[in-house]
């Protein structure tokens, strides 16, 4: 498993969860976002009807047809195991190697080993206390675990260091909309994200969420 694939799976699982929650709730109320395992079961066993696999669910973001399934047991994957051992060797040789800890956290996250991921991210923030990229990523991890208050703290810290940080704006808007149910505030933050970063990888997803928020009650985007 490449480092890029590991991070892509994290972001994809977040996007699936956000969209699923908004679709179920009609974009009007807060819902508890399901875990990655619950998401895969609700969408279809084996991701058969997941986005990018012929899904017709409204508002669902598309993934490439050859994208790895999110519900895969990565701990049985030889490439995952090899990459894990590589990074474990790196931190054993140099406990201050924050990049290795960061990759470990991502690997643990996609394998749904939350406690190990949190420990690894803790090492990263301790080594890189002034890195907004790190705080934004840790915040996304907390969001993926439905730990909204911790996610918001990480977003706020990242935005203190970099007020226009793309991932932090995405994270902050998500917490405002999902946890605080503050549609106006979420809209403001997400519109700032699109203004500052129109090519943001999750821009299409954010536009879909804004469309859901702005729809008058009783209407759907296609009505």
What is the per-residue pLDDT across 23-63, written as a single tens digit (0 to 9) for each?
223 333 333 443 333 322 222 222 222 222 233 222 334 44
Q: What is the pLDDT of residue 57?
A: 29
Q: What is the pLDDT of residue 216?
A: 64
Look at residue 19 and tell me if it is in a domain. Answer: yes
Average pLDDT of the residues of the chain? 75
Among candidate residues 7, 76, 19, 78, the one with its CA nearest the CA of residue 43: 19
Integer Cα distance of 12 and 210 in angstroms: 18
Integer Cα distance of 80 and 131 in angstroms: 27
Look at residue 217 and tell me if it is in a domain. Answer: no
Look at residue 220 and tell me if it is in a domain. Answer: no
Structural domain boundaries enclosing 204: 3-58+72-212
Give the CATH number for residue 114.
Answer: 1.25.40.10
Among candidate residues 91, 155, 148, the one with its CA nearest the CA of residue 120: 91
First to last CA, the chain: 42
**pLDDT of 19 above 70:** no
Give the count of domains, the chain: 1
Whole-number Cα distances in Å, 93 to 98, 119, 125, 218: 12, 18, 19, 59
DSSP symbols for 66-126: TPPPTT--GGG-HHHHHHHHHHHHHHHH-TT-HHHHHHHHHHHHHTT-HHHHHHHHHHHHH
The two tokens of residue 166 are 């793309």
Look at residue 218 and tell me if it is in a domain. Answer: no
Look at residue 163 and tell me if it is in a domain. Answer: yes
Look at residue 30 and tell me if it is in a domain. Answer: yes
Look at residue 223 and tell me if it is in a domain. Answer: no
What is the per-residue pLDDT across 117-169, written as a single tens digit (0 to 9) for each?
999 999 999 999 999 999 999 999 999 888 999 999 999 999 999 999 999 99
Cα 85 to chain centroid distance, Å, stands at 25
Look at residue 95 and tell me if it is in a domain. Answer: yes
């Amino acid at each position: 498993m490449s480092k890029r694939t590991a991070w892509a799976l994290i972001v994809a699982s977040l996007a699936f969860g956000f969209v699923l929650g908004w679709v179920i709730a009609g974009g009007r109320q807060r819902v508890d976002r399901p875990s990655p395992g619950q998401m895969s079961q609700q969408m279809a066993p084996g991701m058969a009807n997941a986005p990018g696999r012929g899904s017709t669910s409204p508002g669902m973001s598309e993934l490439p047809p050859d994208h790895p399934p999110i519900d895969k047991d990565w701990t049985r994957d030889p490439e995952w195991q090899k990459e894990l051992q590589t990074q474990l060797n790196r931190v054993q040789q140099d406990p201050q190697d924050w990049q290795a800890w960061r990759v470990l956290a991502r690997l643990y996250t996609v394998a749904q080993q939350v406690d190990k991921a949190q420990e690894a991210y803790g090492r990263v923030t301790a080594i890189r206390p002034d890195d907004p990229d790190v705080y934004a990523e840790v915040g996304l991890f907390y969001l993926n675990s439905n730990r909204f208050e911790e996610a918001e703290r990480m977003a706020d810290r990242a935005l203190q260091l970099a007020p226009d940080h793309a991932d932090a704006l995405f994270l902050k808007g998500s917490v405002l909309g999902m946890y605080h149910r503050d549609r106006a505030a979420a809209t403001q933050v997400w519109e700032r994200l699109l203004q500052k970063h129109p090519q943001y990888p999750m821009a299409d997803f954010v536009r879909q969420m804004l469309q859901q928020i702005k729809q008058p009650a009783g209407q759907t985007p296609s009505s």
